[in-house]
Amino acid sequence: MKKILAVQITALILISGVLGGMFVFTDVYDEAYSRIVSVICLSCIKLNRVYSIDYEFETANQEPHPEFIIDDLEKGPIFISFRTDVCDYCDYMEPLIKQIFNLSFEKEDVFSKQINFSDTDITFYHINKDHAEAELKTLQPYYDIDGDEAVPMFTIITLEYHQGIILPYYLTFYGILDPNYTDEQRIEEITNNILNAIELYKENRQGFIPEDFKK
């Protein structure tokens, strides 16, 4: 009896002590929340999203576009790729994105870069949410039209005329696009959307007044 009691007490102190230590000294609670609970797990539900692309004017969270996005829009359209460390479909899509933009980077990288695409300057963002600073980490809800912070998520921001003014205009798509696509079709689809965004940008850049969108 005494022996089992000693084992029980030792096990309880050790296990609960380490667990308590994890809560106090590590960010495991936040990590479990941000990596698992707050995102919709497509593999857990065994589903893909129906692929549809619609441009939107209003941000998904009804907030004004962040100022740094408006600043970037002065220079050209924006392409944003959101991912997390552990994400099958991100790993699947990332080589295609690298191929489209002729870029090379690691999956943990968080950066923005001016690149030339079809003779137009584009701001390319690669945001790994597990490594991003607060400003970029909180960018996804602005453009997450489905509202569940799923990854991979890709957003293209350009400009378009709306009721007398030129506004930021964005489209967001998730996952691997249409699951029936081949990789060549995925590349073609994304490229076409970027080219379309460039056309819209060129048509509307003259009427865009960034100051109107800054607080």
What is the contact surface with other proteins in residues (CB under 8 A)? 1, 4-5, 7-8, 11-12, 15-16, 18-19, 22, 26-38, 40-50, 85-86, 88, 146, 179
Residue carrying structure tokens 């009721």:
163
**Which residue number, 18 or 165, has a Cβ lying nearer to other proteins?**
18
**What's the min distance (Å) between Cβ of 166 and other proteins?**
31
Smallest separation, CB 144 to other proteins (Å): 14
Pair 48, 176: CB distance under 8 Å: yes
Q: Distance from CA of residue 141 to its chain's centroid?
A: 9
CA pair distance 84, 47, nearest whole angstrom: 19
Q: Is the peptide bond before 66 cis (omega within 30 degrees of 0)?
A: no
**Rounded distance, CA 111 to CA 109, Å?**
6
Q: What is the DSSP letter of 133?
A: -
Q: Which one-letter amino acid corresponds to residue 71?
A: D
| Residue number with CB closer to other proteins (177 or 190) | 177
3-state secondary structure of 132: coil
* Residue whose CB is less far from other proteins, 48 or 138: 48
Nearer Cβ to other proteins, position 29 or 210?
A: 29
Could you tell me the smallest distance in angstroms from the CB atom of residue 134 to other proteins? Answer: 17
CB of 38 to other proteins, least distance (A): 6
Closest approach, Cβ 152 to other proteins, in A, equals 14
Nearer to other proteins, 67 or 85 (CB): 85
- Is-contact 147 60, C-beta < 8 A? yes
